């Protein structure tokens, strides 16, 4: 898991150079008026989903097999819980259409995602996004860029 300010995104050597350039170019086009829905950046290798939702008080952990998640907010504030999958109990089996697992871990860390931050979750890293922060329930607009694991550096 990586958590930092968006201005530092290109400092991380996570993806192949060409993939990083495409992701960075896309991120620079975003603003709170960017259209909701799926945005194709490089076919099924790199795409983004932009959604509007209210944060929640309860949730479940997820982890992906095939894609890295890059999450950032255009509007709002939320907590994201994270943990290791080692020893976690699977509560919902793999679903090919959405590339996720559900887990019940024993311990978890937390980061507060705000506009101007980003969080990266590698395949199999547990994360529980969209959670209420100390600010209470928020109306968020979030971008989740999905990057196929084959593009990792």
State pLDDT tens for residues 57-92.
Answer: 998 899 999 999 999 999 999 999 999 888 888 888
Task: Give the DSSP H/E element, type plus range, for residue 21.
Answer: helix 17-28
Please give the residue range of the domain that contains residue 90.
2-151
Name the burial class of residue 38, with classes exposed (0-12), middle (13-18) and buried (19+) by CB atoms within 10 angstroms of its CB.
Answer: exposed
Report, as an integer, the average pLDDT of 83-106. 82
Taking 80 as the threshold, does the pLDDT of residue 97 lie above it? no
Nearest alpha carbon to residue 76 among 41, 111, 112: 112
Report whether 70 contacts 148 (CB < 8 A): no
- What is the model's pLDDT at position 86? 84
**Virtual CA dihedral for 22, 28, 31, 36, nearest 10 degrees?**
0
Range among 19-28, 79-88, 97-106 with highest mean pLDDT value: 19-28
State the Cα–Cα distance between residues 73 and 88, nearest whole angstrom: 28
Count of the separate structural domains present in the chain:
1
pLDDT digits (tens, 9 = 90+) for 107-119: 899 999 999 999 9
pLDDT band at 104 (very low <50, low <70, confident <90, very high): confident
Q: Which two tokens stand for residue 55?
A: 């944060």
In CATH, what number is assigned to the domain containing residue 38?
2.60.120.370
Taking 90 as the threshold, does the pLDDT of residue 96 lie above it? no
If you search the block for the tokens 């992906």, which residue do you land on? 64
Taking 80 as the threshold, does the pLDDT of residue 99 lie above it? no
pLDDT digits (tens, 9 = 90+) for 1-18: 999 999 999 999 999 999
């Amino acid at each position: 898991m990586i958590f930092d300010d968006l201005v530092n995104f290109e400092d991380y050597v996570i993806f192949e150079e060409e993939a990083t350039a495409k992701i960075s170019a896309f991120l620079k086009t975003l603003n709170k008026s960017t259209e909701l829905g799926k945005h194709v950046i490089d076919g099924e290798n790199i795409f983004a989903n932009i959604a509007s939702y209210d944060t929640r008080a309860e949730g479940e952990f997820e982890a992906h097999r095939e894609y890295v998640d890059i999450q950032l907010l255009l509007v709002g504030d939320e907590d994201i819980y994270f943990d290791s999958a080692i020893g976690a109990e699977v509560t919902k089996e793999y679903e090919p259409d959405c590339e996720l697992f559900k887990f019940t871990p024993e311990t978890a860390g937390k980061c507060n995602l705000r506009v101007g931050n980003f969080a990266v979750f590698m395949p199999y890293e547990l994360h529980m996004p969209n959670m209420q922060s100390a600010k209470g329930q928020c109306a968020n607009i979030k971008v989740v860029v999905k990057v196929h694991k084959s593009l990792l550096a």
